[in-house]
Structure 1
Amino acid sequence: MFLTKGHLASPNKFKELEDLRNLLSKLKVDYKLPFDEEDLSMLLLSVLRCDDISSSYGILKKKGKRRYIDELKVKAWLEENLIPNTVVLRMDDPEILKLLFFSIEITYSMFLGESRATLMQKGFRERRRSFEAIVVDQFIGKLGEVAVKRFLEVHFNVNVELD
């Protein structure tokens, strides 16, 4: 599948490639990937953008003035990098539920004045943030901690306890 610099520069042009969509849907089924085609295409585009011709991935090949994707290298990248390093978190996971309750609890204590955290949004004009906005910010901020914890437990066999 041949690419131009325009395809690499524009995610929309990249996603419109029919051959790419076919490849990604086939890979999604073959490898039972937990991504949809759009997420998978953005991951692949990121790799292609940082993957020069001489890099270790070698997914992007050059033939004359044209560039093309080596499908075997894409499969190798999936098997060696993406799949082993992917952490899947589900909403019914006890850690995620605990995190949700913690986010609601800490936000509630902020509204009661039991915390030194601010309810105001920083910026030129400070405005009061809603309860929901603060819960979401708390949840997203801590979600990364849960993902890193899971990654460390799986890949380094350590027990991480979050507070």
Structure 2
Amino acid sequence: MNKELKDTTITVCATQDTVESDSFNNTYDENATYPVVNVTELKEALTNDGYYYGGGTAVQVQEGTLVINGGTFACEPFEDPYGYNFLINCVDSAYKNGTAKVIIQGGTFINFDPSNNSAEGAGTNFVADGYKVVPQTQTNGDICYTVVAE
């Protein structure tokens, strides 16, 4: 009581306990990486737009504009018929009224074509003008869709 601790840094790292489970399994964060520990590392991690993995969705925009210039995006697919359709996604009502947007100018998307998907309805195109998608089928059957300048 009434003691002060000075000049100490505490880093808390958490991971999923094996008794926890999402709607698919208990390994949803097995690809998680060590967190950044300061603002400088956060800025560096964000500029290097890294490996983003989610359960059904890697990124969901609730409000504002998401601009993707690079990185690799993957997710654990939802059950059929949804699959990988929501890897990059907006809240439906916010997308419809224009308060949530996605502009993609680079990056690789696993099993999700950002130029032709159903995240916001059939034929959704998040790819910016002047860019195109180059698909490449992998040996494991996954398709990598990479966005490049035309």
Greater fraction of residues in strand: 2
Give the greater-gyration-radius structure (CA).
1
Same fold (TM over 0.5): no
Question: What is the TM-score with the length of structure 2 in the denominator?
Answer: 0.23
Question: What is the TM-score with the length of structure 1 in the denominator?
Answer: 0.22
